[in-house]
Amino acid sequence: MSERITKDMAKNIYFGGGIFATLIFVGLTFDSVNQIPELSNEVNMTESVVLGKKIWEDNNCVGCHTLLGEGAYYAPELGNVFQRAGSSNEEAFKGYMLGWMAAQPLDIPDRRKMPQFHLSPEQVNNLSDFLIWTSKVNTQEWPPNIQG
């Protein structure tokens, strides 16, 4: 039984497959858009978080660090730094960030050096709020471990 595919059959497979793939894509897009409010933590976004994001962008932190898996892999992932460094205590984390940013660059042999950005305490607080907010975004178990 050696049946050949005719032009009409090939055309039907092509268009039918294209329409099927398009419907799947539209359905998945609709589902993703509907999940954004639940996953994004947007309701907890404050002015301080927005200013912290601006500091993050102005100082090109993503040029070395990753945030929720996006960015450079030169320095540690910071999407979960609040849990790692602050033990989920906001005041402890903000104190840690003030000390950490003031101590840069650390002179530790065989370690990459983070530059000194000369941020004010208010700017470090805003950056801390941004990182705290980021850690509360539902990333569906990303990163896979606490080290990032």
H/E stretch holding 95 reads helix 90-103
User: How many Å apart are CA 115 and CA 61, to the nearest integer?
Assistant: 10
pLDDT of 148: 65
User: How many Å apart are CA 105 and CA 129, to the nearest integer?
Assistant: 22
Q: Taking all residues of the chain, what is their mean pLDDT, rounded to a whole number?
A: 92
**Top CATH class, 45-148:** mainly alpha
Q: What is this structure's pTM?
A: 0.79
Q: Decide: helix, strand or coil at residue 91.
A: helix
pLDDT of residue 142 exceeding 80, the answer is: no
* Rounded mean pLDDT, 108-124: 92
pLDDT of 41: 86
CA-CA-CA-CA dihedral for 96, 106, 115, 60, to nearest 10: -50
pLDDT band at 101 (very low <50, low <70, confident <90, very high): very high
CA distances from 97 to 19, 76, 79, 142, 145 (A): 52, 15, 14, 22, 21
CB atoms within 10 A of CB 130: 24
pLDDT tens for residues 76-95?
899 989 988 878 899 999 99
pLDDT of residue 74 exceeding 80, the answer is: yes
pLDDT of residue 2 exceeding 70, the answer is: no
